Structure 1
Amino acid sequence: MAYLPNIIFAIILIAGIGYFVKNVKALARNIKLGKDVDVSDNKPQRWKNMAKIALGQSKLVRRPVSGFLHVVVYVGFIIINIEVLEIIIDGLFGTHRIGLSVLPTALYGFFIGTFEVLALLVLVAVIVFWIRRNVIKLARFWKSEMTAWPKNDGNFILYFEMVLMTLFLVMNATDTHFQDLNSGNIISQFIAPWFSGMSETALHGIERTAWWIHIVGILVFLNYLYFSKHLHILLAFPNTFYGKVKPNGQFDNLEAVTKEVKMMMDPNADPFAATPEGTEDEVPEKFGASDVQDLNWVQLLNAYTCTECGRCTSECPANLTGKKLSPRKIMMDTRDRLEEVGKNIDANKGEFKDDGKQLLGDYITSEEIWACTSCNACVEACPVSIDPLSIIIEMRRYLVMEQSAAPTELNNMMTNIENNGAPWPYNQMDRLNWKNE
């Protein structure tokens, strides 16, 4: 039975990683429900964006306080988890601090000491985040779309990080062999006296308990990500790579519309030409988007990457003037609908069964999307290159081109352009009369 702990550890590790892989496959499947889009252009710029925005956190630090704290948590949490490699080896092979067997004591102490300092900084930063969210109650965390689950989700992650950092420090503080080395215990040496007077057996029991809860907690955290807004920890890198590289003010044209315009301008084109024999009439492509399957896969990746930080909404002029639009809600609704579609496919053996719902109408109202000024403030504010405006534009296209459901003001403008060649209700012959006034 000497190997029982190692067997239990292996089972937990395999189960944790296996469940994570299963969720990643479901995530990839859902993203691939979107239309194909060519994002193979400007690769040097895309790599630069990923390095600068996802790795370098360049957009986050525009707000110095929260940006600095986020960098501390991001860097600290990533670096500290390097030690997970040692924990996995120890758990599988029954060793204890295998790093001491392969590294000089001073070097090992340097690594663990660095981890301890970072763990303390992460703990402090997370506590400040909790205070900002729950005591100071920053307005962007308390918008109407931040219902019970989004608010709780943000706190759950903070609690996870608090517990994991505390367990790491307690694990080191109660490891008498590590403390006796007096190398690397930069922070834990001040925690060790809290356990003075305890027997060697009790200290070992606390250290082992902290060790087990720490590694199981990391596996739980890893699998919680799929259900959490913190999925951006993994998706920020591909999202910034595949993000928009064209100027924000440049919109994509619909290829189907472009073809029709070119045909209208071609004097030799015959719009009434018969379909070649042996072929079926092509089903016209839907203009715009009414559901998630009408969006492209990059837009669906955007939805999963959203961290619900609210920077987009806090910068949105429509939202600031009291209108119903919240770019954050657009992304949250898109992700929720995509999850619903994914569950529908799972329940129907890989096929989507019409559920009578769609993104536009059941999740996002026309009032929201027509409130948008197309200013790109949300796109500019997003710290991970999410583009809520592109989804709004696609739904607007659907309403105008498929449903003829544009607001009266826009219909009047488009009628004037069609009849007068300008947005104003004046005859073309009268357009220059202002010169004579």
Structure 2
Amino acid sequence: MVAQIIFLVITLAAIVLFTFNSRKIIRNIRLGRPVDRNDQPQKRLLTMLRVAFGQSKMVVRPIPAFLHFFVYIGFVIINIEVVEIMIDGLFGTHRIFHGLGGLYDFLIASFEILALTVWVACVIFLIRRNVLKLKRFSGVEMTSWPKSDANYILITEILLMTAFLMMNAADLKLQVLGSAHYTSAGAFPISQYLINLLPSSESTLVAVERGCWWFHIIGILAFLNYLPYSKHFHILFAFPNTYFSNLEPKGEFTNMASVTNEVKAMLDPSFVPAEAEPGKFGAKDATDLSWVNLMNAYTCTECGRCTDSCPANITGKLLSPRKIMMDTRDRITEIGKNIDKHGADHQDGKSLLDDYITREEIWACTSCNACVQACPVNIDPLQIIMELRRFAVMEESQAPGSINNMLGNIENNQAPWKYSPADRFNWAEGN
């Protein structure tokens, strides 16, 4: 009974803490501007099923896609066993679903095979990051914490899978010994090869089995509460992020209603725009972005596919789309912490533009959408860049000289070039 009470207290504490931290992140996301992404529900659902559940955009890189598939499937399916662990922990039972017979044997065998594939995949991922040191896992934004964060998760997965297999191996050996409380149940295609590593003493085996059991479940609960502090929150946010992703064709930019109304009024003097509160053009700080942009930031897993595909970054420019997302997440998190400490009206004198993201970065972007296309979960760094550009141009009238020249030419010549419209077809003379 003492063990059951301890298990209940730990589980409730983990759930309460996770809920508390998750609500903070959701609050931070809601600090963004409203945007309607409830249209075309059927198409959105299909997008989520294809991209998030089906991992369709991962296959561009076959090797990591193959490894990630096993980690993803293993993570989802092996955690079905957590249901049995939770019931056993609360009621003091042992393998309560053993009555399923052959189906139970099949499930445990499947869990073990998947646990091994997850273990192998995580080891390979660790080697790729720390031994091979693939280029896309480096960059100015990849400081010690982002690199350590990835390693912590991979090492945790390896330890959890090891504990799971060792728990089963000890359980199997106790079943063979006919130990009380250890019902003969389950098929163990992987852990059966580990029993020779275990001691023969029944009391020691029970200690190993119970120790691995507690390590496995506490490790899962600890992992759950690590997610809000980690880039791996994408495990949960990938699904809503793909559901609410932009369904419009890439390259189609949104129009600002206030500007559209001004143009309509110039073309049609009888046009009367609907009354609307005066707003800011573009975005200077994270709260000027939409809630979808902020959810994108919390969904980013820092895989680097966007930066690896960015032509500006490839040619040595300062821009890194991954950094754009990481900076946005860091800034909105900082704003949330300031709200918690000082209240909703607190101003810290900082902003996303300049304090986190430089002007050089936003103007290095070619708006080619390569980063958007590359992202496995439909994150859109370009939209954030364009909002920061809009603020710089329309609120501050600050832009690089080449941009100002282009805007002046469009105003005077109705084209980006300096030539008069009357001379536009001079090139055709004599042809």
Question: TM (normalized to structure 1)?
Answer: 0.94
Shift of 1:390: 0.3
Distance 1:330 1:183 in 2: 49
d(CA) in 2 for partners of 1:436 and 1:215?
Answer: 80
Measured after TM superposition, the shift of residue 256 of structure 1 is: 1.0
Q: CA offsets per residue over residues 312-347 of structure 1, 9 Å max, x none? A: 000000000000000000000000001000000111
The answer (yes or no) to whether the contact 1:416–1:422 under 8 Å persists in 2 is: yes
Contact 1:72 1:121 in 2 (8 A): yes
Match of 1:194 in 2: 197
| Match in the other structure for 2:222 | 220
Q: Does the C-alpha gap of structure 1 residues 333 and 300 become closer, same or farther in structure 2, counting only changes over 3 Å?
A: same
Matched, 1:154 2:157: no
Equivalent runs, 1:333-412 vs 2, <5 Å: 333-349=327-343, 351-412=344-405
Establish whether residue 23 from structure 1 lines up as the match of residue 45 from structure 2. Answer: no
SS at match of 1:174: helix
Counterparts of 1:367 and 1:352, CA distance in 2:
30
Please report how far the alpha carbon of residue 177 of structure 1 lies from its aligned counterpart in structure 2 after TM superposition.
Answer: 4.2
Change (3 A) 1:270 1:121: closer
CA distance in 2, matches of 1:387, 1:344: 26
Q: For the residues of structure 2 that align with 1:84 and 1:434, how far apart are their CA atoms?
A: 73
Superposition deviation, residue 427 in structure 1: 2.0
Matched residue, 1:78: 76
Out of 241, 249, 260, the residue aligned to residue 258 of structure 1 is 260
**CA distance, structure 1, for counterparts of residue 88 and residue 272 of structure 2:** 75
Look up the match of 2:162: 166
Classify the secondary structure of the residue corresponding to 2:139. Answer: coil
Instruction: Give RMSD over aligned pairs.
Output: 1.5
**Structure 2 residue identity aligned to 1:206:** V
Letter in 2 for 1:390: Q
Task: Provide the C-alpha distance between the structure 2 equivalents of 1:294 and 1:379, rounded to a whole number of angstroms.
Answer: 21
The answer as to whether partners of 1:179 and 1:189 remain within 8 angstroms in 2 is: no
With normalisation by structure 2, the TM-score equals: 0.95
The answer to whether the 8 A contact 2:367-2:382 is kept is yes
Equivalent runs, 1:17-416 vs 2, <5 Å: 17-100=15-98, 102-104=99-101, 106-175=102-171, 176-178=173-175, 181=184, 183-196=186-199, 198-268=200-270, 284-349=278-343, 351-416=344-409
1:300, 1:335 within 8 Å by CA — same for their partners in 2?
yes
- Residue 406 (structure 1) shift: 1.1
- Hey, what's the Cα distance between the residues in 1 that align with 2:176 and 2:168? 7
Map of 1:275 onto structure 2: none
Cα 1:179–1:74 shift into 2, 3 Å: farther
Instruction: Count residues in correspondence.
Output: 422
The answer on whether the counterparts of 1:173 and 1:179 sit within 8 Å (CA) in structure 2 is no
Match of 2:181 in 1: none
The code of the aligned residue for 1:73 comes to V
Amino acid at match of 2:256: L
Change (3 A) 1:36 1:178: farther
Cα distance in 2 between the residues matched to 1:253 and 1:107: 56
1:124 match: secondary structure = helix
Which residue does 1:424 correspond to in 2? 417
| 2-structure distance, mates of 1:243, 1:282 | 26
Asked if structure 1 preserves the Cα contact closer than 8 Å seen for 2:264 and 2:271, the reply is no
Aligned equivalents of 2:271 and 2:169: distance in 1?
Answer: 81
Q: Distance in 1 between matches of 2:37 and 2:227?
A: 26
Structure 2 gaps, min length 5:
178-183
Percent identity between the two aligned chains = 58
Q: Flag the 1:81–1:178 CA change in 2: closer, same or farther, 3 A.
A: farther
Q: Deviations over 1:131-152 (max 9, x none)?
A: 0000000001111110000000
Find the aligned partners of 1:177 and 1:435 in 2 and give their Cα distance: 91
- Separation in 1, partners of 2:168, 2:49: 34
- Change over 3 Å in CA distance of 1:25–1:183 after alignment to 2: closer
For 1:14 and 1:295, locate their aligned partners in 2 and report how far apart those are by CA, in whole Å. Answer: 35
The offset of 1:432, in angstroms, is: 2.1
Alpha-carbon separation, structure 2, partners of 1:179 and 1:288: 69
- Superposed CA offset, 1:267-316 (max 9, x none): 23699xxxxxxxxx976310000001100000100000000000000000
* Aligned: 1:436 with 2:429: yes
Paired position in structure 2 for 1:277: none
- Report the equivalent of 2:180: none
Q: Contact 1:179–1:185 (CA<8 Å) still a contact in 2?
A: no
Cα deviations across residues 232-252 of structure 1 (Å, max 9, x unaligned)? 000000000000111001111
Aligned mates of 1:179, 1:333 — CA distance in 2? 56
